[in-house]
Amino acid sequence: MNTYTKEGTIKRELVVDGDLILTGNLIVEKWIDVKGSIDCAGYSITAGGSIKAGGFIKAGGFIKAGGSIEAGGFIEAGYSIKAGLYITAKETVSCGLKVFAGIGVWREITDAEKTITCSKLKKGNVAYGLLKETGITPSLSGKEVSVTVDGKTYTAVIK
């Protein structure tokens, strides 16, 4: 999987087949779809549409989406997480201040569309939305890992 670095403003959607590492704040007019993880370090990420990552989403500042926010891992922001629709993480959701889900104003938002679903809200407070903690810790079963020792690579599948 490739790693891409980005910052600035994008006037369309951002699709990345790999990981995305921000070197500054990122504003995307449409949606963001990353197969890997999004690591914003000390920066913030904003999308007019949805933000989706196969891995984690991490920002030192805030995470803001006009649509939904979805992560195959955890979602973490230094300040706040705001979504026009739902927020879903297979693992934890964490932020320094507040989480807002379902704040879209273009139509009536259903309860399902304003739900924050995660294994656990690790840090922060739900300012708006419905919290659904699954308590499920993702399994590593079936994951493939590789290690290189003395120049030789060994691969194993976790049971």
77-125: pLDDT as tens digits:
999 999 999 999 999 999 999 999 999 988 999 999 999 999 999 999 9
Q: Per the structure block, which two tokens stand in for 158?
A: 């976790």
Classify residue 141 by its DSSP letter: T
DSSP string, 39-87: E-TT--EEESS-EEESS-EEESS-EEESS-EEESS-EEESS-EEESS-E
| SS3 at position 112 | helix
Separation of alpha carbons 117 and 27, rounded Å: 25
Q: How confident is the model at residue 138 (pLDDT cuts 50, 70, 90)?
A: low
How large is the average pLDDT for residues 54-79?
96
Q: How many residues does the chain have?
A: 159
For residue 54, give Cα distances in angstroms to 96, 129, 141, 148. Answer: 23, 23, 17, 25
Q: What confidence score (pLDDT) does residue 144 get?
A: 75
pTM above 0.95, yes or no: no
Tell me the β-bridge partners of 4: 20
**Burial tier of 27 (Cβ tally within 10 Å: 0-12, 13-18, 19+):** middle
Measured in whole angstroms, how far is the alpha carbon of residue 13 from the centre of its chain? Answer: 16
Residue 148 carries which side chain, given as an amino acid letter?
T
